[in-house]
């Protein structure tokens, strides 16, 4: 069985896709996180503007208009359907690099109080900017990286209390 995905656009429009449908997109990648998409004989110029990899949310520019995108896979949908939450099952104290990359900006410092969803730092990976956010309310215990530093996957970036 192929993986299914649900995509919520601007909190209003909802779409479902299968892995096969995504694989069959007429898509041509270009430089800088941009792509050219053909759908129903229409041409769309797209660009990834902002990426929150951990929360599966993105800002995508399509023909000069920005869209907020939230992607859910089958596991996310099942957890939601059952009324469960992965966040409630664990407290995240360590923010680690989801992929190797370059730290473009560090937006917090030791002792800062943050709320869930606040921007912590910007990581560039594969020519895309990924903004890492606070997984919960808390206080920044330590910041282990600085601007312009390269990091490896799973490297500790920020520790929270």
Q: Residue 100 maps to which CATH number?
A: 2.40.50.100
Same domain, yes or no: 145 and 114: yes
Could you tell me the maximum CA-CA distance found in the chain, to the nearest angstrom? 53
Tell me: do 48 and 14 sit in the same domain: yes
pLDDT of the residue at 83: 67
What is the CB neighbour count within 10 angstroms for residue 70? Answer: 17
How many folded domains does the chain comprise? 2
Evaluate whether residue 20 is within a structural domain.
Answer: yes
Provide the token pair at 90.
């664990």
Rounded Cα distance between 15 and 74, Å, is 13
How many whole angstroms separate alpha carbon 130 and alpha carbon 150?
14
The pLDDT of residue 85 = 58
Q: What pLDDT, on a 0 to 100 scale, did the predictor assign at position 68?
A: 92
Which of 76, 110, 137 terminates a domain? The answer is: 76
Q: Are residues 60 and 98 in the same domain?
A: no
* Residue 141 shares a structural domain with residue 112: yes
Chain position carrying tokens 């995509």: 7
Residues 6+ apart with CB under 8 A from 92: 135, 136, 160
Residues 38 and 100 in one domain: no
127 in any annotated domain: yes
Same domain, 56 and 116: no
Instruction: Judge if 67 and 96 occupy the same domain.
Output: no
Q: Which domain holds residue 100?
A: 92-160
**What are the 10-residue block averages of pLDDT along the chain, 161 residues in total?**
82 87 72 77 86 85 91 81 60 87 95 93 89 91 96 93 89
Domain assignment of residue 140, yes or no = yes
Provide the pLDDT for residue 32: 67
Residue 109 within any structural domain of the chain: yes
Residues 56 and 99 in one domain: no
Residue 81 lies in a domain: no
- Per DSSP, the three-state class of 89 is helix
């Amino acid at each position: 069985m192929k993986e299914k995905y649900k995509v919520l656009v601007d909190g209003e429009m909802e779409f479902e896709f299968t892995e096969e449908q995504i694989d069959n997109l007429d898509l041509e990648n270009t430089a800088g996180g941009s792509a050219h998409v053909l759908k129903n004989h229409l041409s769309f110029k797209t660009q990834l503007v902002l990426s929150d990899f951990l929360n599966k949310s993105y800002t995508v520019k399509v023909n000069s208009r920005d869209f907020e995108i939230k992607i859910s896979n089958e596991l996310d949908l099942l957890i939601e359907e059952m009324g469960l939450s992965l966040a409630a099952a664990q407290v995240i104290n360590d923010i680690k690099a989801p992929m190797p990359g370059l730290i473009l900006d560090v937006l917090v410092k030791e002792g800062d109080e943050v709320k869930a969803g606040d921007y912590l730092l910007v990581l560039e990976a594969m020519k895309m900017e990924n903004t890492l956010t606070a997984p919960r309310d808390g206080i920044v215990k330590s910041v282990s990286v600085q601007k312009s530093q390269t990091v490896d996957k799973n490297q500790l970036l920020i520790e929270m209390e």
